Amino acid sequence: MVDHANDIKSMKLYTHIDRVYRELNELGKGPEDLLDTSELAAFDQLHYHGVDAVQYAVDTLNISDRSSVLEIGSGFGGPARHIAKQAQCRVTALELQPDQNTVARELTERCGLSSLLNHRCGDFMDTDWSDETFDAIVSWLAIYHIPDRKRLLEISSQLLGDDGMFFTEDLYCRQSLEPDENQLMSTGLYAAHLPDFDTYLREFEQAGFEIVESRDMSEDWAEFTSNRLQDYRNKRNRHIRVHNLETYQAMEGFYSFVNGCFLSGKLGGIRLMARKSD
């Protein structure tokens, strides 16, 4: 049986997660200290352009205090906390990896957001949702990890109310991959579903969604990941002091690998907003 929660650790972004606590220590925060989401933004957002990207979704989806939102693949909980705090709405944050989910829940408690934000641990594909529904499903760099897009969209459609919205920033494949490149992306990025851009849209349409916005983010993210890598290398001594050499090497290796994928022209980024239409 496939153990996604374990196998996904082949992607080095998901190892050394004690780096969150080391960053908090660097901020002078003890284990019990209360926190503000703004203090976490530099290290609790595992996607591109941090809270700006999340605020874009809050604005374009018109998320308000009356909205209920589900995030698929919530990581350390950064996007979900930003949404809950900015919109004062109810958010369910679903995360596959138990260790990340534990960190996320603790950070949410320390930010005083537990009454709005419900952290759940599990695989989106076999979570029991009973009769829960949401106005919006959001996801940053998570659904490319999930192989069965047809089933993912069927479940999403059932979870969304009438006119419910699906928003994602995700990865796609720009050029066909050689077997060795495919293998590298399966391990280094734990990529399980990377259609081309047109197929990406068509799969949503075939699942009964109307595309409201689709934007190719590839050039933007190639530049973002280049700058991220350069910045990380420039601060090598600081990162080794705050974390350790092993963590530095894991993160540097991951940032370098991802940047190479974008620069090769093989890996692309997409922003997609779609409305449930039937």
Ligand X SMILES: C[S@@+](CC[C@H](N)C(=O)[O-])C[C@H]1O[C@@H](n2cnc3c(N)ncnc32)[C@H](O)[C@@H]1O
Binding site for ligand X (CB under 6 A): 8, 45-47, 72-75, 78-79, 94-97, 100, 123-125, 140-142, 145-146
Please report how close the Cβ of residue 139 comes to ligand X at its closest, in angstroms. Answer: 6
Q: Is 216 helix (H, G, I), strand (E, B) or coil?
A: strand
Judged by beta carbon, residue 107 or residue 173, the one nearer ligand X is 107
Instruction: Output 210 or 231, the one with its CB closest to ligand X.
Output: 231
Going 190 to 196 to 197 to 199, the CA torsion angle's sign is: negative
Residue closest to ligand X (Cβ):
73
In the complex, least distance from residue 136 CB atom to ligand X, rounded to whole angstroms: 14
Give the nearest distance from C-beta 5 to ligand X in angstroms.
7
Q: In what order do the strands lie in the sheet with 90-95?
A: 117-121, 90-95, 68-72, 134-140, 160-173, 267-276, 209-216
Cα 26 versus chain centre, distance: 25
Q: What is the nearest approach in angstroms of ligand X to the Cβ of residue 107? A: 12
Pairing relationship of beta strands 209-216 and 267-276 according to DSSP bridges: antiparallel
- Which CB sits closer to ligand X, 97 or 156? 97
Q: Which is nearer to ligand X, 145 or 266 (CB)?
A: 145
CA triplet 49, 80, 32: central angle to 5 degrees?
Answer: 105
On whether the CB atoms of residues 121 and 101 are closer than 8 A, the answer is yes
* Least distance to ligand X, CB of residue 122, Å: 7
Q: 69 by DSSP, 3-state: which?
A: strand
* Per-position b or e across 64-84, b if 16+ CB within 10 A of its CB: eeebbbbbbbbbbbbbbbbbb
Q: What is the DSSP letter of 32?
A: T
Q: Please state the closest distance from residue 145 (CB atom) to ligand X, in A.
A: 4
| Cβ distance to ligand X smaller for residue 5 or 177 | 5
The Cα 105–Cα 120 span in angstroms is 9
Nearest approach, Cβ of residue 237 and ligand X (Å):
26
Burial of 152 (0-12, 13-18, 19+ CB in 10 A): buried
